[in-house]
Amino acid sequence: MITRLDLGSIHVDVVRKNIKNIHLGVYPPTGKVRIAAPEWMELDAIRLFAINKLAWIRQQQKKLLAQERETPREYLERESHYVWGRRYLLQIVEVGARPSVRLMHKHLRLQVRPGTSVKKREVLLADWYRSNLKLAVPALLAKWAPIVGVRAEHFYVQRMKTKWGSCNPTARNIRLNTELAKKPPECLEYIVVHELVHLREPTHNDRFIALMNRLMPHWRDCRDMLNRLPVRNEHWDY
């Protein structure tokens, strides 16, 4: 069951869960606020927690509302698409052969059968991005897991609406947003490190910040870069 807290102009949805710690999130596209709280926690304590975080909430909402959005993709000839932060023009090649995606010097070549729908073109490219991300992650885990002092048992790549990444400290796995394959490589590296550090410290507390500062001193620059880049035009269901 969801309980709503009204804090002036800010509305907070509170969800009770069988968890140890309280978690606060501000989600795109409009800055919706959600708190996941332990089942035993009193509503007054949750309200006080939210009030203490109001400045941070407003800051996050301001960033989300200001962030540039991509125009909807139509998957047509010479449409702009990004791979690892670089812009490529989509090249559509219709032939009676197996569909494929190939990265050229200035073009992203999408080979499809004649009459292939826009939706199918979208799926083909999404699968290609996912495959590229899966290929890039193991080397980053091999580099950073020993530095962070943790081991990720598994990693998963999937389309995510509200996060660039997430982790499960109990299962020792991390999840990464397929959109990271469109961003500069340093953005992916930052998210991998971020989630690995969360395997040591699940919340964004002082210890988490101290670990990030020590292990990756420039992490804020990577975060700010990621937050400045356009995000996918998405349909949101509430």
Q: Assess if residue 233 is contained within a domain.
A: no
Judge if 106 and 206 occupy the same domain. yes
Query: Where in the sequence is the domain holding 50, given as residue range(s)?
Result: 2-66
Q: Is residue 232 very low, low, confident or very high in pLDDT (cuts 50, 70, 90)?
A: low
DSSP structural state of residue 225: H
Which of 18-22, 57-61, 194-198 is predicted most confidently? 194-198
For the chain, the first-to-last Cα distance in angstroms comes to 15
Q: Is residue 238 very low, low, confident or very high in pLDDT (cuts 50, 70, 90)?
A: very low
Judge if 100 and 208 occupy the same domain. yes
Q: Which of 66, 96, 112 is the last residue of a domain?
A: 66
What stretches of the chain adopt beta strand conformation (E)?
Answer: 2-7, 10-17, 23-27, 32-38, 80-83, 86-94, 100-103, 107-112, 154-158, 165-168, 173-177
Q: Which pLDDT does position 223 carry in this prediction?
A: 87
pLDDT value at 79 more than 90: yes
Judge if 127 and 219 occupy the same domain. yes
Distance of alpha carbon 115 from alpha carbon 96, whole angstroms = 10
Q: Which pLDDT does position 234 carry in this prediction?
A: 47
Two structure tokens written together for 167: 């982790």
pLDDT value at 46 more than 90: yes
Output 64 or 132, whichever has higher pLDDT.
132
For residue range 136-158, what is the model confidence (pLDDT) as tens digits?
A: 999 999 999 999 999 999 999 99
Judge if 160 and 217 occupy the same domain. yes
pLDDT (mean) for 194-202: 94
For residue range 5-45, what is the model confidence (pLDDT) as tens digits?
A: 999 889 999 999 888 889 898 876 678 898 999 999 999 99
pLDDT value at 236 more than 50: no
Do residues 37 and 25 lie in contact, with contact meaning Cβ atoms separated by under 8 Å?
no
Among 146, 134, 149, CA closest to 199:
149
Judge if 61 and 84 occupy the same domain. no
Number of domains within the chain: 2
